[in-house]
């Protein structure tokens, strides 16, 4: 993927090759008072962002990101990605805002926890699929 925005290119490279030893380098690209939000977390500050990624490495088998699309316009950027964790894949997107120093000031991840995660769990997945079928609009 060829990116003209150096800030975004550096982040994409880090995300796609991320290992536990890289967490300090990753959070150094975030502003000290950054905001991070995903379906399970909403935190402020580099230390809290580092804890989220550290928890990912401790909780998930062989986690890795594959960025499918990335673009930036001004101080805003968007990534579409696949998160591989063992035998399953979560498709999601991130909206990033950069501050005047080129650091990530806001990072918001979007992905459907029900479809991408809950439906893949044995008991809960069956219940989620049943609910989805019942709530789906039926043609008249």
What CA–CA distance (Å, rounded) separates 7 from 14? 11
SS3 (DSSP) at 105: strand
Residue-wise DSSP of 25-92: HHHTTEEEEEEEE-SS-EEESHHHHHHHHHHHHHHSSS-EEEEEEEEEETTEEEEEEEEEETTEEEEE
pLDDT score of 80 more than 80: yes
Task: Name 117's Cβ contacts closer than 8 Å, sequence gap at least 6.
Answer: 88, 90
b/e 8-17 (16+ beta carbons within 10 angstroms → b):
beebbebbee
Q: Where are the domains of the chain?
A: 6-111
Percent of all residues in the chain with a pLDDT value above 90, rounded to a whole number: 67
Q: Token pair for residue 125?
A: 């997945």
Which pTM does this prediction carry?
A: 0.80
Instruction: Tell me phi and psi for residue 63, to 5 degrees.
Output: -70, 140
Q: What is the pLDDT of residue 40?
A: 87
* Integer-rounded Cα radius of gyration of the chain: 17
Q: What is the pLDDT of residue 1?
A: 45
Q: Identify the weakest region by mean pLDDT among 2-6, 26-30, 94-98.
A: 2-6
pLDDT score of 129 more than 90: no
Could you name the CATH architecture of 6-111? Roll (3.10)
Q: What is the pLDDT of residues 16-63, one digit of tens each?
A: 999 999 999 999 999 999 999 998 899 999 999 999 999 999 998 899
């Amino acid at each position: 993927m060829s990116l003209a925005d150096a800030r975004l290119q550096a982040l994409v490279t880090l995300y796609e090759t991320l290992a536990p030893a890289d967490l300090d380098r990753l959070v150094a690209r975030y502003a000290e008072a950054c905001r991070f939000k995903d379906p399970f977390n909403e935190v402020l500050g580099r230390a809290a962002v580092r804890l989220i990624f550290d928890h990912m490495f401790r909780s998930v088998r062989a986690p890795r990101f594959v960025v499918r699309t990335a673009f930036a316009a001004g101080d805003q950027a968007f990534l579409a990605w696949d998160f591989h964790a063992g035998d399953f894949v979560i498709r999601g997107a991130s909206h990033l805002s950069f501050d005047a120093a080129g650091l990530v000031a806001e990072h918001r991840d979007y992905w459907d926890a029900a479809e991408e995660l809950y439906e893949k769990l044995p008991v809960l997945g069956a219940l989620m699929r049943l609910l989805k079928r019942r709530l789906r609009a039926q043609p008249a």
